[in-house]
Amino acid sequence: MITPVEVFYGRNHGAMPEIDPRAWRLRVGGMVEQTLELSLAELQQRFAPVEVTATLQCAGNRRAGLMAYRDIPGQHPWGAGATSTARWRGAPLTDVLAACGLDPHVTDIAFDAPDVASEADPPQPFGGSIPVDKAIAPEVLLAWEMNGEALPTAHGGPVRVVVPGYIGARSVKWIGRITAQDHPSDNFFQQGAYRLLPADADTARTRPGDGVALGPVALDSEILAPDDGDELPAGTTRVAGYAFAGDDRTVVRVDVTTDGGGTWVQAELDAQPTPWTWRFWHARVDVPPGRVEIMARAWDSTAAVQPEHAATVWNPKGYVNNSWPSVTVTAS
Ligand SMILES: Nc1nc2c(c(=O)[nH]1)N[C@H]1C(S)=C(S)[C@@H](COP(=O)(O)O)O[C@H]1N2
Ligand SMILES: [Mo]
């Protein structure tokens, strides 16, 4: 369930900043009754910490599966590894916002960090925003601990935002400033990147704000065993993996097929401690001799199911490849 810190995926759009925890300050302002400036000790003493186990997933997870269908120049060819789960501990963002008193016209909470991303146009520090309704939900944290240890620099230490159920990009690391406002963040990573563009968009001509800003994660799953390319005895085989529903949905069913989707075997689901984590599943399927493609599909609590082909979800920046995962094995 929990990914050790050493193998938790990492994604940085700029150089990692080294922040002295004693010098770190969080500034909270914008459309509030009272601005706040907090040191780490003040944040930890003034606000009762809570722990949330949550899966983070980069919106570019499984981009390689889209690139196999049509190339996506200049973007990282992630496999399914850009997904990990940790126990996060910190102050609920809602408590810090309540201490400031939000103006009733606030619609979005914006986050700004100090790390400058040269890929941004123009180059600028990393940032983004989430809708205020999500920002005041109890699971959204200003976290200073990961898996029981002080939050490592690589994962945003001394303090990062953790937005369970949302794409990784909204969990802003090295958080420095929080702004309550009546519009989404103007930051490149809100207005230019992490947006779903139509398949026929001309990326040389796209403008800030084009396409759809990504927020809640889309339903996805992965097959962890057997491995792609494995050789195994024909007959009954255990297939196992995880599914991740995203947002505040839960995984309610996972099916496995060995005949291209003609017939399906329903998988057993492990417990899902909170809506914010992946859910492990396993099934026993009959594998005939020869080369066999094993595929899976997950269903969530809104009865949504994963799309079959990467081709149907291909988009110019290569986000949200949540098509059926597949491994091909040779049985004898
Ligand atoms: N300040 C800052 N926060 C950031 C990023 C970044 O580059 N700078 N990357 C984001 C992206 S795109 C993802 S997917 C997650 C990755 O978090 P991790 O490196 O702890 O896995 O952090 C997000 N927060
Ligand atoms: Mo990401």
Full set of structural domains in the chain with CATH: 5-213 (3.90.420.10), 220-331 (2.60.40.650)
Chain Cα centroid distance, residue 278: 11
pLDDT at 267 over 90: yes
Residue 144 has a pLDDT of 98
Query: 59 C-alpha vs ligand 2 centroid, how far in Å?
Result: 5
Residue 240 has a pLDDT of 98
Residue 276 and residue 52 in contact, taking contact as beta carbons nearer than 8 Å: yes
Which residue, judged by its Cα, is nearest atom 2 of ligand 1?
A: 173
> Is 1 strand, coil or helix?
coil
- Ligand whose nearest atom lies closest to the CA of 19: 1
Longest dimension (CA), the chain: 70
pLDDT in tens, 176-215: 999 999 999 999 999 999 999 999 999 889 999 999 999 9
Residue 121 has a pLDDT of 86
Query: 262 C-alpha vs ligand 1 centroid, how far in Å?
Result: 39
Give mean pLDDT, residues 72-95.
96
pLDDT in tens, 145-158: 999 999 999 999 99
- Ligand whose nearest atom lies closest to the CA of 111: 1
Query: 161 C-alpha vs ligand 1 centroid, how far in Å?
Result: 10
Q: Which residues line ligand 1 (CB under 6 A)?
A: 8-14, 56, 58, 113, 115, 126, 155, 168-169, 171-174
The mean pLDDT value of the chain amounts to: 97
Query: 31 C-alpha vs ligand 1 centroid, how far in Å?
Result: 26
In order of 50, 63, 141, 241, the CA distances from 108 in angstroms are 23, 28, 16, 35
> Is 217 strand, coil or helix?
coil
pLDDT in tens, 277-294: 999 999 999 999 999 999
pTM of the model: 0.97
Task: Phi first, then psi: give them for residue 275, nearest 5 degrees.
Answer: -65, -10
Residue 273 has a pLDDT of 83
